[in-house]
Structure 1
C-alpha cells in the first residue's frame, strides 16, 4: 500500500518505517522535522505541521495514499504534569480532524489512529481483565478527564469518517526505544529516577512489537474496530525500570511513596503509582495474526540489552 505515516520522526516512527518498508509498503513520512532520518529508513519525507490545516492540505496535493497512520504525539519524555499532555491532546483532537481531511483528499480508504489503554479509565481496575468490549472513555470528574476525552475524540473521528475504514490501536505503555532507554539508564546512573514504591500493575508494550501490531492492523485489521496492543504480562513501572537497570548493570531506581512523588509530578506519579489495569491482547492476536516478540517486560529488557 501507499502509506502516509504521520509522526514518522517520533519514537514509534523509526520501527514503523522499517517494518512497513520490509513488508513492501511505499511509505511517506509526515513530520515537522527528521527528513534525513526518514530517507535513511526508506521513507519519502513530507515536512509540515499537521496543525496548520492549509499548509498540510497543500503539501499532500497531488499525492495518493491507500492508508493514513496517525502516530503523532508531543511526548519527548514521560509526562509529569497534566499540562505536559496538552499538546498531545490537541494532536488527538485537531490533528485527527486534519488527517482525516488528508485521507479524503488523497483517496485513502484506511485510517489507523494511535489511542492508549488509559481510555478505560485512570483508576485501579483490580483483577478485572479489560477487553475491547469494556467501557472506553471512562471519566471520574478529575483532571484526567480531558486526556480521556482526547483519546475518545481520535477514535470516534477515525471510526465515523464516511467512506474510510477507521481502526484504533490502544497501546500500552511503550518502552524499548534506544533513545528512551539511554535516557533512562543515564538517569539511573545519576540516581535521578525515582519510582513509586507500590505502583499499580500496567500493560506495557515494546516499541518493536507495537510497530509490528500496527503493520498487522494496516494489512488485516477490521474497519470500525479497536485493538489492545499490549504484551502478555502487566507490570509496575518499578518492575520494568529495575529489569532495564539489571540489563545495563545500572543502579536500581529509588523507590518513594506515591504521595511524595505527586508533590513534584502529579500526573506521572498518579498514573504510575495509583492506576492499575490488566488488559487483554487476545483480539489482536486472533484477528491480526500478531504475536509479541517480547511477551513480557523481562524479555523486552533482555532485548534492549542485545540492542534489538
Structure 2
C-alpha cells in the first residue's frame, strides 16, 4: 500500500493556529493523554465515545447514531484513537471488537468527519501492521510493506484490520490522511495495571532470547499526535517509538525493578500458548526507525528508553 498520495490542494493551517478537533476514543488511556496534550497546545478537543463523560456520545459501530451525534458540528481535524480494549489482550478473540473498530468503525468515522467539514483525518495505527513474527535485525521504515498477509486466519484478521484502517484513511482524498504507527504503549494509565499483578507475583514472563519490540511512553505518543496535527504531510504514515527496543519479558522485569516489586517468574515461552495473542506478541521480533517522524514532524521521544519513561512515571506519582 502506498502512503505518498498527493494532497497538494489540502493546506494545513499554520502550527500556531488553534484547531477544533474531534477525538474518537477520548475516554481511553491514550485518548486522555491526547486530550491533555492537544489542549495544552491550544487546540479545542471534543471527545467522542460511548461513555457519558464524552462531549458527544455515539458508538463508532452505529453509523446512523454517529452521524446524528456530529450533525451541526464543524471540526478541522478528526482523530481515530478508539479501541475496544480495557485491558491487555491475551487471546486472539480479545482483538475482534477492536478489529471491527479499525474497519467498519473507521469507515463510519470518515463519513462523520466528512459531514463536519473536516479537512484532516488522523488514525492511530500500530507497528504490528508490518506483520507478527521474527523480522530479525532489519530496522523497518515506512517504506517497508505494511499489511502483509497474515500467516494464519487469526493473524490475517488482525493485520487486515490495520491494513484496512490505513487504506480508508489514505483513500479519503478530500481530507488529509495521516497514520501514526505506534509501538507498544506503557506509562501513566497503562503500566499501572501491571503493578498489582507484579506485587502478587501473578505475571510470569518468558525469557526473550534476543527478541525485541518497539515501545512508546504514552505522553510521548500524545506529543506525536500534536506534532502530526500541526505539522503533518498528507498521505504519510509515521513510526512512533522510543530509541531502544526491548523484549516483552525484559519490559515487565524493568517495571518490577523500577517500582521495587518482586521479580516476575520466568517461564518457557511455550507455556504462554493458551494465551494465543500474548504468545504471538511475545514471539515477535520487531525494530522500527522513527527517522521520518523526527525529520518531518520535528518529534522525538522525551523518554528514549523504557527505563527513562518508567523513572519519570514513578517520580510523577511521588514514588521516588
TM-score (norm 1): 0.94
CA distance in 2, matches of 1:129, 1:181: 26
Which one of 277, 285, 289 corresponds to residue 298 of structure 2? 289
Q: Is 1:30 the counterpart of 2:48 in the alignment? A: yes
Which one of 3, 23, 37 corresponds to residue 19 of structure 1? 37
**Displacement of 1:306:** 1.1
Spell out the pairing of 1:119-158 with structure 2 (5 A cutoff).
Answer: 119-142=129-152, 143-158=154-169
CA distance in 1, matches of 2:257, 2:52: 32
CA distance in 2, matches of 1:254, 1:221: 44
CA distance in 1, matches of 2:163, 2:280: 21
Q: Which residue in 1 is equivalent to 2:24?
A: 6
Q: Which residue in 1 is equivalent to 2:101?
A: 91
Q: Is the 8 A contact 2:30 2:81 kept in 1?
A: yes
Q: Which residue in 1 is equivalent to 2:82?
A: 72
Q: Which residue in 2 is equivalent to 1:53?
A: 63
**Displacement of 1:195:** 1.1
Which one of 287, 290, 298 corresponds to residue 307 of structure 2? 298
CA distance in 2, matches of 1:34, 1:292: 33
CA distance in 2, matches of 1:132, 1:232: 16
Give the paired residue count.
297
Moved more, 62-71 or 195-204: 195-204
Q: Is the 8 A contact 1:244 1:304 kept in 2?
A: no
Equivalent position SS for 2:303: coil
**Displacement of 1:140:** 3.8
Q: Which residue in 2 is equivalent to 1:41?
A: none
**Displacement of 1:97:** 0.3
Q: Which residue in 1 is equivalent to 2:5?
A: none
Compared with structure 1, are the counterparts of its residues 15 and 34 closer, same or farther at alpha carbon in structure 2 (3 Å cutoff)? farther
Alignment RMSD, CA only?
1.2
Q: Is the 8 A contact 1:66 1:109 kept in 2?
A: yes
TM-score (norm 2): 0.90
1:230-286, Cα deviation, whole Å (9 max, x unpaired): 110100111211121112111112111111111x201101211x1001100110011
Q: Which residue in 2 is equivalent to 1:276?
A: 285
**Displacement of 1:196:** 1.6
**Displacement of 1:34:** 5.1
Equivalent position SS for 1:12: helix
Q: Is 1:117 the counterpart of 2:127 in the alignment? A: yes
Compared with structure 1, are the counterparts of its residues 140 and 61 closer, same or farther at alpha carbon in structure 2 (3 Å cutoff)? closer
Q: Mind listing any 5+ residue stretches in structure 1 that lack a counterpart?
A: 39-44
**Displacement of 1:162:** 2.6
Equivalent position SS for 1:126: strand
Spell out the pairing of 1:88-237 with structure 2 (5 A cutoff).
Answer: 88-142=98-152, 143-178=154-189, 180-198=190-208, 200-237=211-248
CA distance in 2, matches of 1:139, 1:251: 40
Moved more, 51-60 or 137-146: 137-146
Q: Is the 8 A contact 1:9 1:34 kept in 2?
A: no
**Displacement of 1:76:** 1.3
More helix by share: 1
Q: Mind listing any 5+ residue stretches in structure 2 that lack a counterpart?
A: 1-18
CA distance in 2, matches of 1:139, 1:297: 31
Equivalent position SS for 2:29: coil
Q: Is the 8 A contact 2:216 2:240 kept in 1?
A: yes
Q: Is the 8 A contact 1:81 1:267 kept in 2?
A: yes
CA distance in 2, matches of 1:290, 1:176: 18
